[in-house]
Structure 1
Amino acid sequence: FYNGYYPFYPQERSSSFFNMQQVIIILVFLVCAVSFLIILPGIRGKGRLFWFLRIILSLFIGVVIVAVNFTSDWETGSVQTSTSYKSFSNVTVDAEVGLYVGLEGVNITLKGNPVHQINETIDYNEQFSWRYRSNYDDNYYHGLQKGLPNPILYIAEKFTLESPCRVYAQYRLSGHYASAMLWVAFCAWIVSNILFSLPVLAYGGFMMVTTGTFMIFSILSFSTIRNTPLCSIYVGSAALSTQFGPSFWLTLAIGLLCILIGLIVILMDQLIPEKLKMFFMLNEDDGDDVLLEGYGNNSYIEDTS
C-alpha cells in the first residue's frame, strides 16, 4: 500500500527545522546593535570603548532574556537504542531518541543511525506545545492521526493530561511562572538601561540587580519539576533520563552576571563615583554650568532692566 509505506504512514515524514521565533528575536537585537554601533565612530577617546562594551553587553543580556522564553532545551536527554519504528510492524531501527523540554512544550527527536533505513529517511523533530491557548492533548492526538513513529508517541504520551505520570500540570505551571519571571526581568532590564543614561546610576544598578534576581526566580520555578517523580521512559531496552539543559544554565549565568554588574555599579557609586560617571560618559559639571549660565543671564536681564 501507498508505494511501500504502511497504511497508517501514507508519506515519509520530514523533520522540522530551527525555531523561527528565535531567529526573529536575534535579528531584531542585531539590528539594534548595528544601529547603535553606527554612531560609534563619532565618539572620541576612551568613551568609544566604554560605549561599545555597554551596548554589546546590554544587548546580549536582553536577547538572552527574551530568547530563552522560546527555546526547547531547558531540560534535555537522549539515548541511542534499537527500537520499533511503526505500529503493526516488527521492524526495528537503530536511532537516537531525544527529549527536549522548554517553557512552552516539549520537542521529541528521532534520528536514525544511519539516517536512511528501511527505505526511509528517519529524521524527526516534533513539537508538542502547552503554551497559552494551545491544548497539549490535541497536539498529541494530531500526532496520532499523522502516524508519527512509536518512540515519539510513546514519550509524548507521558506528558498528556490523562497520563498516569501526572507531570503535565507541574511542567506547564513551572514553565508558565518561569516565563512570567523572565518577562518581568526583561522590563527591569529596560528600566535599568534608561536609568543608566541618566545621572542616577545607583538606581540603574538596583534595577540590574532586580533583573538578575527575577532571572534566578525563573530557574527556581522551573527547577521545582525535579520534586515531581517522572515515570521511567524506556525506548527499546535503554532508559531515557534528562538533565538541565543549556538554556537553564545560560539563564543562571546571565542572572548572576546581572546581579554582579548591579552590585559593582552600586559600590562604585558609593566609593569612586567619578570613575563610574566616566564609564557611562556622564558629567554633572555640564549640567551645573548650564544652570549657572541660566542664572547669570537672568541677573543680567534684571540689571539692564
Structure 2
Amino acid sequence: MVEGWFNAFREFGGPTWYGDHRTPVVIDFTITQIAVIFSVFLTTFLIIFPGVRRRKWASFLSTVQTLLIGASILIAHFHPSWHQADVEVFSSYRSFSSERVLGMLGIHIGLSCANITLQGSTEKNSHEFMNYNERIYFTDVKTMHRNLLDSLHKGLPYPIITVIEYLAADKAGFIWGRAYRLAGYYTDFLLWISFSLWCLLVLMICALPRYFSRMLASTGCCLCTANVVYAVSCPKSLSIPFPTSSEQHARIVFYFGWCFWLILATGISCLLAGLSIRVVELNCSCEFKTFLQSDCEAMSNSTVTSGESNSSPDTSCSVVLTKFNRLPSKHCKQKFSNILQLKDQTVDQSRIHNSPSVLRITSGILGLRLPSSHAEGSNEHDSVKLQVGSLSI
C-alpha cells in the first residue's frame, strides 16, 4: 500500500487522533468584561483630570465613587459568591467504586447560580491533579432536578453529586434549594432597582448636581435593603457531612461571601456620603457642584443680560430686579422683597425711574450704592448698577 500525503503517520489507516486536553475554568468572562468597561471609564477620567482647574476634589471623589458603585452592583449580581463554604474531603470518587479522592471541595452560591469546585487527586493517580468547576442554575423550580440528571449523565465525582442532591431536594424539610432561589430572586430585584437609581445618579451628577446627595442616599438605602433581604431569606441550617482523611466526618458550614460584604460596604458608604453632603448643603447654604455639570444657570444669566441691553428704560428696572432675585443669599432675597413692597406702594412705575428721590430712599433702606449720575437726577436708565457690599449686579 502506497502512503499518500493524507494517510501518512496514521495508525491502522484511521484518522489522526490527539488525546483530550481538558482545561479548567480560569476566569469568568462576564466579570472580566464588566471590570474592563469600568476600568476604561476610570482611566479616561484620570487622563483628563489633571486639566481640571476648579472643583477638582469634589469632581474626583464623586466620579470615582459613582464608577465604583456601578461596578460593584454588576459584579455582585453576576458573581456567585454570596454564600460559600469549603472543606477538605476524602470520599469515594464515584458510585460502586473503591477509589477515593482527596481534595478541597468548595461551594459558591450566587443569586441565580452556584459554582461547585473540587481540586485534588485520587489514590491510584496521585500524580494527576483534578480540577472540577461545575456551574448549576436554579432559575426556576425544575432547573435543579435537571442539573442533577445532567451531573449523573456526565459522571461527575461523588462529592459534587452529593452537593447537587442536597440543593435539588424540595420535599418535607429539605428546602434549601428553594430558599436560595427565593433569596436570590428578591435580592436580584432590589439590585436592579439599585442599578436604575445609579443610572439616575449619573444623570444627576452631569445635569442637576444639587440632587446628587439625595440619589446617592437612595441608592445606599436600596443596597442595604438587598443585604438585609438576602441575610433573612438564605437558609441557616444547611450542613453537608463528608468523610475526611482522619476517618472522621467534616461538615460544610456556610458563611457570607465577599459579594455580600461588597454590597453592604457600598450601601453604607453611599448612605453616609449622601447624608453628609445633604447636611452640609442645608447648614452651610452651599450647593454641590462638579466640572461635569452643564452650567444652565450661567446660560440663563447671559440670556437675561443680552435682553437687558435691548430693553427699554421702563423695563430695565424689572430686569435688574429679576437678576437680583437669582442671588443665592437669603439676605439679598429679603432686600428684594423690600424692593417689591416699595414698588407696590408707588402709583406709577415711571416715578421710580424719573424721581431721583425715590432711588435715594431705596438705596437708604437697602444699603445700596447708586452711581453719581443718578444721585444728580440723570435719566440714563440702562447704566443702572446696584452694589451690596462686594456683590454687584
Band the TM-score falls in, shorter-chain normalisation: 0.7 to 0.9
Displacement of 1:80: 1.3
Q: 1:285 to 1:21 in 2, by over 3 A?
A: closer
1:182 aligns with 2:191: yes
1:158 to 161, 166, 170: 166
SS of the residue aligned with 1:69? helix
1:139 aligns with 2:139: no
Residues 97 and 111 in structure 1, CA contact (< 8 A), matched pair in contact too: yes
What is residue 52 of structure 1 aligned with on the other side? 60
Displacement of 1:50: 3.4
Displacement of 1:54: 2.2
What is residue 247 of structure 1 aligned with on the other side? 259
5+ residue gaps in structure 2? 1-19, 244-248, 317-393
What is residue 29 of structure 1 aligned with on the other side? 38
Displacement of 1:113: 6.3
SS of the residue aligned with 2:288? helix
2:200 to 179, 191, 194: 191
Displacement of 1:283: 7.1
SS of the residue aligned with 1:33? helix
SS of the residue aligned with 1:44? coil
The residue identity in structure 1 corresponding to 2:145 is: D
Partners of 2:290 and 2:302 in 1: CA distance: 19
User: Which has the larger displacement, 60-69 or 76-85?
Assistant: 76-85
1:123 aligns with 2:135: no
Partners of 1:300 and 1:33 in 2: CA distance: 52
Displacement of 1:294: 3.3
Partners of 1:12 and 1:183 in 2: CA distance: 40
Displacement of 1:261: 1.2
Displacement of 1:132: 6.4
1:16 to 20, 25, 32: 25
SS of the residue aligned with 1:217? helix
Q: 1:50 to 1:266 in 2, by over 3 A?
A: closer
What is residue 261 of structure 1 aligned with on the other side? 273
What is residue 64 of structure 1 aligned with on the other side? 72
Larger Rg: 2
1:120-167 CA distances to partner (integer Å, 9 max, x unpaired)? 432111111123698232122111111000000001111115465212
Q: 1:36 to 1:12 in 2, by over 3 A?
A: closer
Q: 1:116 to 1:225 in 2, by over 3 A?
A: farther
**Matched length:** 291
The residue identity in structure 2 corresponding to 1:296 is: E
Q: 1:169 to 1:162 in 2, by over 3 A?
A: closer
Q: CA RMSD in A?
A: 3.1
Name the % identity: 28
Q: 1:288 to 1:114 in 2, by over 3 A?
A: farther
The residue identity in structure 2 corresponding to 1:70 is: F
Partners of 2:293 and 2:221 in 1: CA distance: 27
What is residue 240 of structure 2 aligned with on the other side? 233
Partners of 1:115 and 1:291 in 2: CA distance: 84
Structure number with the bigger relative contact order (C-alpha 8 A, sep ≥ 6) is: 1
SS of the residue aligned with 1:274? coil
Residues 175 and 221 in structure 1, CA contact (< 8 A), matched pair in contact too: no
Partners of 1:115 and 1:53 in 2: CA distance: 55
1:89-110 CA distances to partner (integer Å, 9 max, x unpaired)? 1112221111111101211111
1:274 aligns with 2:283: no
Partners of 2:296 and 2:151 in 1: CA distance: 63
Q: 1:194 to 1:107 in 2, by over 3 A?
A: same
1:173 to 177, 182, 189: 182
Residues 157 and 163 in structure 1, CA contact (< 8 A), matched pair in contact too: no
5+ residue gaps in structure 1? 1-10
Residues 115 and 121 in structure 1, CA contact (< 8 A), matched pair in contact too: no
Residues 99 and 122 in structure 2, CA contact (< 8 A), matched pair in contact too: no
